Structure formats: structure tokens, C-alpha cells
Amino acid sequence: MKAMLLSRQAPVEEAPLELVEMAVPEPREDEILIRILTCGICHTDLHTVEGDLPLHKSPVIPGHQIVGVVEKRGARVESLGLGERVGVAWLHWTCGKCRYCLRGDENLCENARFTGWDADGGYAEFAVVPAHFSYPLPEGLSAVEVAPLLCAGIVGFRALKLSEVLPGETLAMYGFGASAHVNIQIALGRGCRVIVFSRSAEHRRLARDLGATWAGTIEEKPPLRPERAVIFAPAGPLVRHALELVDKGGTVALASIHMTPVPELNYETHLYNEKRLRSVTAATRQDGVELLREAAAVPVRTRTEVFSLTDANRALWLLKESKINGAGVLEPGSQSPTVKDR
């Protein structure tokens, strides 16, 4: 199979991912082999490739937003059928035994392994994954549309859950990239009003197009007072803005895994009146199942830009430069016609 392999971390401008020919991996008894249709690209891939994250496995195939079809099943796999379409996300495996797993917080598992970091991911034509950590996919969403839901979508969805936003409430969103553009559609589908803060005029326009009641900058005063807020942008100072803005009893959830320093909070303005602040760490399988169900029902439409597998270095560079419209997706099938007899 063809794969874009990372052996040496380097700035993406140096094209560190190398096109290689590898043996198609064999699934172990609890695993499935999937033929990859698409794989979304994500900032975490960029951090893996460039060395902001230490390598857990070397060499490694990055990529953790995989859509594919079951090509082969391990001896003990009964939950999925051959040819079934599945999705694979960042959470590759959890132990099921630690205190976090036992209470349903597998996103906090002490022994968790991650796709495209601890195990080979989706920048390839095939991948093996544990059957219990792949998601059967709903009809009605194409392989290209689903890919961005599997990381950006799921993590933002968990933030939406932790914000405890109720139907009919007003939700503020800070930042409007891949994750927000999925989750605004979920929130609107639940009958919420959404206001959006973004520095980018283009993102504000997209937010209005998708149904935001209002979109502006943090220097402007929105027409509605939100009950809840989700901060997608990795900018610590926004925490103060959001906590001050939300109504009494309001919740602010942070969808970003990395965050610049959060400035000092003032008890009276930022926390009093039972305001809550939540952070998000990865996501559980249950989050994935719920998002995919809700996304299919809305239905959520993702904006994507498709690249061939061999174009992965360039796609990551465009991501780094914020030059991708919507979410970037690799499509192994869209590459050279030499890859025919599988």
C-alpha cells in the first residue's frame, strides 16, 4: 500500500512526510483492516509532523480522522460487516480498567493510545484499528463530509455538551474554524440562537451564512446576552471576556486543547453568580456516536478542500498558513491511477 510516512520530524516546509510502499497490515483478532476513503488533516497532525509533540512511535503514519470500509476482520470481530463504512477518530484504544474508564470518562484514560501517534493512522491506503474504536457511519453524509467531523467535530461537540446549552438558549462562539462551523449547525439544529466572535471577516460572513444571529468582534457589543459560551480559539484572554458576558449561572467551555495563558480572573465579574468554566480533554466514543447521529439528522454540511494522499505535505503547509477553506481532507483514491489492483 502507499503511505505518507513520518521518520524524521521537521518543519512542514521541508516536506517531512515521505511517500512509501508498505505491506498492507494484518488485523489482530480484535481489529479490522479498513480501506481508506478519506482522512481529514488536523493541527495535531501538524504538531506531530513538526515536532511540537514527541513521537510515540517511529516511523509513524499520521492522521486521525479516517473514513473507510471494512476490508478484513480479526477472528473475534462480529460487530462490523465486510464492506461496512466506518469512521476512526483520535481515540485509538483505552484500557477500560483505570478509574477514569470505569466511571465513563475514557477520554481521561491513563493508558489511552491515539490514532496517528501511538498507532499508524490514515495518511495511507489502509489502516488497522480496534473494532470497538471505530464508528459505523450514518447514511447521507459523504466520506469527504464525514472526515472533519471525526476530530474537529467531536472535540467541539464535547465542548458543546459541557457548556450544557439548552434548546432555545443563546450560545456565544469564539473563533470560527473547522470545529465551530460544524457545531454551529448542531446548536442551530437544537433551536439555539448563536452569536459569533471572530477576528476574521471571512469567518464572520460564513457564520452569518450558516445562521448566526449576529457575528462581530470582541470590541463590539452583541445584541443578546448568552447563557453559554464555547471558546474555540486558543486565546486565553477570551476566557475573561466570555465569563463576563455570560448570564448568571452561565457556563463557558474551552474547546481548544492548547491555550495561551489565561489572564487573572476577578471573582466578582468572572465567577460569582455561579458561573462555570470547563475545559475539554479529547472525547469519548459516546461523544462520537452522538455527534454522528445528530450531524446526520440536521444534516450538517461541512466545507472541505480535497487533496490527494501524496499531497499531504502541501495540505499541512496550507493548514499551517490558514489557507484552507473549511477543513482539509486527503483522498487516497484521488491519486495516480497506478494504484488499482488492491
Nearest distance from residue 284's CB to Zn ion, in Å? 11
Nearest distance from residue 6's CB to Zn ion, in Å? 15
The secondary structure of residue 148, as a DSSP letter, is: G
- Residue nearer to Zn ion on the CB measure, 222 or 326: 326
Per CB under 5 A, which region of 8-16, 21-29, 94-102, 210-218 contacts Zn ion?
A: 94-102
Nearest to 109 by CA among 120, 96, 119: 96
Q: In this structure, how many other beta carbons lie within 10 angstroms of the beta carbon of residue 293?
A: 10
> Given candidates 3, 6, 42, 89, which one binds Zn ion under the rule CB under 5 A?
42
Per CB under 5 A, which region of 39-47, 51-59, 174-182, 257-265 contacts Zn ion?
A: 39-47
Characterize 213-232 residue by residue with b for buried, 16 or more Cβ atoms within 10 angstroms of its Cβ, and e for exposed: bbbbebeeebeeebbbbbbb
Nearest distance from residue 308's CB to Zn ion, in Å? 20
Q: In this structure, how many other beta carbons lie within 10 angstroms of the beta carbon of residue 305?
A: 16
**How many Å separate Cα 45 from the centre of its chain?**
11
- Residue nearer to Zn ion on the CB measure, 151 or 330: 151
> Given candidates 37, 129, 151, 329, which one binds Zn ion under the rule CB under 5 A?
151
d(CA 35, CA 339) in angstroms, rounded, equals: 13
Nearest distance from residue 184's CB to Zn ion, in Å? 19
> Given candidates 55, 95, 224, 265, which one binds Zn ion under the rule CB under 5 A?
95
CA contacts within 13 A on the Cβ side of 149? 30
- Residue nearer to Zn ion on the CB measure, 124 or 195: 124
Residues that bind Zn ion (rule: CB under 5 A) add up to a total of 8
168 phi-psi bin (left φ>0, alpha ψ -120 to 50, beta other) = left
Nearest distance from residue 285's CB to Zn ion, in Å? 12
Nearest distance from residue 88's CB to Zn ion, in Å? 12
Question: For residue 66, what is its C-alpha cell?
Answer: 479516517
Per CB under 5 A, which region of 4-12, 96-104, 243-251, 256-264 contacts Zn ion?
A: 96-104
Contact (CB, 8 A) for 30 and 68: no
Listing from the earlier edge strand, what are the strands of the sheet with 214-216? 214-216, 193-197, 170-174, 228-231, 251-254, 276-279
Handedness of CA 49, 175, 331, 138 (dihedral sign): positive
- Rg, C-alpha atoms of the chain: 20
- Residue nearer to Zn ion on the CB measure, 141 or 147: 147
Binding mask 105-134 for Zn ion (x = CB under 5 A): ----x-------------------------
Per CB under 5 A, which region of 40-48, 178-186, 266-274, 325-333 contacts Zn ion?
A: 40-48
- Residue nearer to Zn ion on the CB measure, 95 or 296: 95
Q: Is 101 among the residues that bind Zn ion (CB under 5 A)?
A: yes
Nearest distance from residue 109's CB to Zn ion, in Å? 3
Q: Residue 261 is which amino acid?
A: P
> Within 157-196, which residues bind Zn ion (CB under 5 A)?
none
Contact (CB, 8 A) for 240 and 222: no
- Residue nearer to Zn ion on the CB measure, 95 or 224: 95
Which residues make up the interface to Zn ion (CB under 5 A)?
42, 44, 94-95, 98, 101, 109, 151
